[in-house]
Amino acid sequence: TPDAYSPHPPHGIYAATLDSRGRLHLPAVVEGFPRSRSPEGHLFVTTLDQKTGQIYPPQTWAAAARGLGESTAHRKAARDLLFAPTIWENVCIDPTGRLLLPKGVRDALATSQRRVHLVCNESGSVSIHSQEQMEQKLAASRDTYADAGDTLFE
């Protein structure tokens, strides 16, 4: 029931899988927040950088879209996004916790692997990263930590 879902956005990074039809299987902790907002599990899915996917609850997307439209630097990007329907779509989580990613988002992830990583943000949005992208981010993180050495936490 919707009452069982958390009203708080999850934080952290969670493994997930894409099936052969392009459906993303959401971990229960990630699925719970949008379902607490909308029992039907309505979400807005897009790619803004053509590399990663983004999942937004409707309220979070509305605020992000307003911010894009108000920013002089991003106004053209916001207009262009409206004319790229293959890279955004309103979707619903199905009863088994899956959502069908738009083709443009699947193409942007460019992954032949079924495993992806969901990075959950405080706003309730979720970024979708391929395994390759996460390995690159982890390597960069290790390099940054190695460069900072013991002074990082002083």
**Residue 10: both structure tokens together:** 């999850």
Return phi, psi of residue 2, to 5°. -60, -30
Percent of the chain with pLDDT over 70: 77
pLDDT per position as a tens digit, 107-128: 888 765 688 999 998 888 899 9
Question: Which amino acid belongs to residue 30?
Answer: V
Q: Distance (Å, rounded) from C-alpha 103 to C-alpha 110?
A: 11
On whether the CB atoms of residues 150 and 86 are closer than 8 A, the answer is no
SS3 135: helix
- What does pLDDT average to over the chain? 79
pTM score of the predicted model = 0.77
Strand partners, 88: 46
